[in-house]
Amino acid sequence: MDEASKAYFKILLAKYRVGEASGEEIKFLEAYYNLFDLTEDLITEENEPGYLPLKEAMKANIDEEIARYGKKPVPISSKRSWAKYAMAASILLFISVGAIYFFRNGHKPGNIIANNYNGIKPGGNKATLTLGNGKTIVLDNTNSGQIAQQAGVLISKTGNGEIVYQAAQSSGDVLQNTISTPKGGQYKVILPDGTNVWLNAASSLTYPTVFKGAERLVTLTGEGYFEVAKNKAIPFRVRSSGQTVEVLGTHFNINAYADEAAVKTTLLEGSVKVSSQAGTAVIVPGQQAQLSSNGVHLQEVDTEKEVAWKNGVFSFADEDLRTVMRQISRWYDIDVVYAGKIPDEKFFGEISRSSNLNEIFKILELNNIRFEVDGKTVKVSCSK
């Protein structure tokens, strides 16, 4: 560590001891102490009074986090084995106040061959609403209040930037609307039945202005999180990339991006049935159905990680670089190209989606990754 880093660390340590450290600062320190005895580069305070009890308390506190990730694809048998895996696999721990990077001896940070990424900002509430008559409304440029009326249905934008549908009068007409988010956009819509839907970047949802008949059917591309209004008499169905998800009232997430290897349906509450030509599966809370060319497979997942995007966080666990960069590409509206062999290390951790792109690149470059930025095109290569 350089002197500035040591000084910063000691400030955090002092705040921790008097109970004034924030949650993010505590995570930073706990991660540090979990790995401190595995690398000579990390400073210690062994000569200070109370060091050993503090060390043990920190390592005990992190046990809960380690156990939480015990359900991940990477087997975890103990905090020591987790730490060794972190070292061997070059895992990154992201936190908004900074980052501790667990790296193999001899690794040197790469270089970012441009600094114009400073002008690339994170995404925000951006979307376009296409009405049944073909008219389009750019929602991020629209003031709150009523924005349209069609077939007896009022469409309004709330002060929080949500789109809400409300039937003003009975009508026999059912029109299809589509809300679309660009790369670098997200949006929330409240459907005519009261169902809440959050759309991630580069996604779209098509739905009727009023639900009539024996089902509530919508079509999703990209990724969306649903909190479905309960109606046992009329099931809610979502079509997406070769599958149909059927629910009565529940909370779930669908990741159906075309550039992902599988369509992932994750259940947080209730139960859903996933149907496709490959088969049918019923999933329970904490499970994820993965539809790919190999069929439908179920597995236990960390649901908080799967919906972290909705809560303003990138969350990675045993993810390769291409997976990480796909998420970054969608949110920061950049195009990513690769040159040469790409490092196969895995990444672990979280960082706020409100972070500037340069904050993320500065962390990633520590893993022998090189970035060349030209406008909104980012070339990624290995700096070894």
Strand partners, 101: 92
Nearest C-alpha neighbor of 188 from the set 176, 177, 200:
200
Mean pLDDT value across residues 251-274 = 96
Q: How far, in Å, CA of 190 to CA of 253, rounded? A: 16
Q: How far, in Å, CA of 119 to CA of 110, rounded? A: 21
DSSP class per residue in 62-131: THHHHHHGGGSSS----HHHHHHHHHHTT-EEEETTEEEE---TT-----BS-SGGGG----EE--EEE-
pLDDT tens digit sequence for 22-34 = 776 676 666 655 5
Q: So what's the pLDDT on residue 27?
A: 66
**8 A C-beta contact, residue 245 and residue 280:** no
**Which residues contact residue 111 at a Cβ distance below 8 angstroms, ignoring those fewer than 6 apart?**
365, 370, 383
Domains of the chain: 124-306 (2.60.120.1440)
Token pair for residue 242?
């070769």
**8 A C-beta contact, residue 80 and residue 66:** no
Q: Is the pLDDT of residue 220 over 70?
A: yes
Nearest C-alpha neighbor of 210 from the set 247, 168, 271:
168
**8 A C-beta contact, residue 225 and residue 241:** no
Q: How far, in Å, CA of 248 to CA of 246, rounded? A: 7
pLDDT tens digit sequence for 78-131 = 233 333 333 222 223 332 223 333 222 233 334 444 455 567 889 999 999 999
pLDDT band of residue 369 (cuts 50, 70, 90) is confident
Token pair for residue 164?
């809400």
Centroid of chain to Cα 104 = 27
For the ranges 69-73, 205-209, 302-306, the lowest mean pLDDT is seen at 69-73
pLDDT tens digit sequence for 179-200 = 999 999 999 999 999 999 999 9
Comparing 120 with 205, the larger pLDDT belongs to 205
Angle between helices 23-35 and 79-88 (to 10 degrees): 90
Q: How far, in Å, CA of 303 to CA of 301, rounded? A: 6
Comparing 173 with 134, the larger pLDDT belongs to 134
Q: How far, in Å, CA of 199 to CA of 214, rounded? A: 25
Comparing 257 with 370, the larger pLDDT belongs to 257
pLDDT tens digit sequence for 8-63 = 566 666 666 667 777 766 766 666 555 444 333 434 444 544 445 545 554 555 44
Using CA atoms, how far residue 280 sits from 130, 274, 275, 290, in Å, is 33, 6, 4, 11
